[in-house]
Chains A and B, each alone.
Chain A
Amino acid sequence: MLSIFILSVFTIICLILSFIFDKKKTIEGLKKGAKMFLNLLPAFLTILILVSIVLFLIPKEVLIKWLGKESGFLGMIIAALVGSISLIPGFIAYPLGKILVNSGVTYSVIAIFITTLMMVGIITLPIEKKFFGLKSALIRNAFSFIGAIIVGVLIGLLWGIL
């Protein structure tokens, strides 16, 4: 609730400032934001529906066993593989991450899922190859995969301390 309050106050202040400085620009920005939101909404609802069904089918204990505190390195590898082959926009990935955290998945697993989602692209490899060549695309993705796991391990180690 607090985050909603802070976010809404911050947004309203930004809007007022923007409006005072440049009315036309502000309206243009609002239109852009609305357009992005509308284009995202259908996919967003579909993901919410699918996740609701999946969370119903997979009991919480099972999810926690595979991706929660006790899952260890295996949970991280599962998250890295799923993140590498998925093509989910960040706008949807973060809300999804939140739902998973609510269901008992650890932050370190979420960090790996999100980092591989953003940095590793198996499906987009053919496009990347066209720009950078196959060798460099493969190496970049491999490094990013390893990097993502390091991010997750470090978050796992530091989370309890901080």
Chain B
Amino acid sequence: MGDFMKDYIKKHRVDIIIFILFLAFIVISNVLNFNEGKKIINNFKDSFIEMISLIPFMFILIGLFDVWVPKEKIEKHIGKSSGFLGILWVILLAMLQVGPLYGAFPVCYILWKKGSSIKNIFIYLGAFSTMKIPMLAFEIGFLGLKFTILRTIITLPIFIIIGYLMESIFDNKDFEVKSLK
């Protein structure tokens, strides 16, 4: 536990310093009865209470999601299937991931090696960036079901079109996905 705390503080030291300064700001504003400061603190308090009541549940769900979803099984289908089914598997695989966009690039390399088309590589990137299930859970929680459904339904055809456009611009001679090594 001691090592964990040390690493944790080291890794997030800038954020932790900012938070400590803000705590000092709260104390000083209250002692001096500094009204402008109190407005900022109220802004913070309102957002904080709203966020912190949703977020722990979401991370429990994301953790459970991560251990239960059989990503490897779906990966097996990719590369072999083409056409509509191929697109479906790629989107499904992307939806099950967690993490930032640059984390998707190495997966694209694996898909490319497995024989995925250019189109499906970019559809994977599109679905990865906009339709990851853990992120959709966050989106529903904070921006509502209507927003999430509407945004997803509109975004889906757009990144599929981007996939087709990329495939029409590049062919297998002038396109490849490299690994970082």
Binding site for B on A (CB under 8 A): 3-4, 7-8, 10-11, 14-15, 18, 25-26, 28-34, 36-39, 42-46, 48-49, 51-53, 55-56, 89-91, 94-95, 97-99, 101, 107, 110-111, 114-115, 118-119, 121, 124, 127-128, 130-133, 136, 139-140, 143-144, 147, 150-151, 154-155, 158-159, 162
Contacts and interface: CB of A to CB of B under 8 A. Distances in A.
A94 B138 contact: yes
B150 A158 contact: yes
B166 to A, nearest CB: 7
Given A30-B63, A140-B125, A37 B56 contact: yes
B34 interface: no
Nearest to A35: B63
Contacts of B175: 132-133, 136
Nearest to B41: A52
Contact of A154 (B55, B125, B154): B154
A29 B59 CA distance: 9
A98 B143 contact: yes
Contacts, number: 208
Contacts of B169: 136, 139
Contacts of A56: 36, 39-40, 43
A8 to B, nearest CB: 6
Given A34-B59, A119-B130, A150-B158, A53 B40 contact: yes
B142 A132 contact: no
Contact of A143 (B100, B142, B150, B165): B165
B35 to A, nearest CB: 11
Contacts of A131: 105-106, 108-109, 177-180
A118 B130 contact: yes
Contacts of A8: 57
Given A31-B63, A52-B44, A119-B129, 12 more contacts: A8-B57, A25-B68, A29-B64, A32-B67, A114-B139, A124-B101, A131-B178, A131-B179, A132-B105, A140-B162, A147-B159, A162-B150
B101 A33 contact: no
A43 B102 contact: no
B22 A151 contact: no
A36 B59 contact: yes
A81 B72 CA distance: 37
B88 interface: no
Contact of A11 (B12, B57, B147): B57
A42 B15 contact: yes
Given A37-B55, A56-B36, A94-B139, A144 B177 contact: no
B43 A33 contact: no
Contacts of B161: 147
A-B complex: 7 closest residue pairs judged by Cβ atoms: A33-B63, A42-B15, A52-B43, A42-B12, A52-B44, A29-B67, A29-B63
22 contacts: A4-B54, A25-B67, A25-B68, A29-B66, A32-B67, A34-B63, A56-B43, A94-B138, A94-B142, A115-B155, A118-B130, A124-B100, A124-B102, A128-B102, A131-B180, A132-B177, A132-B178, A139-B169, A147-B158, A151-B151, A154-B154, A162-B146
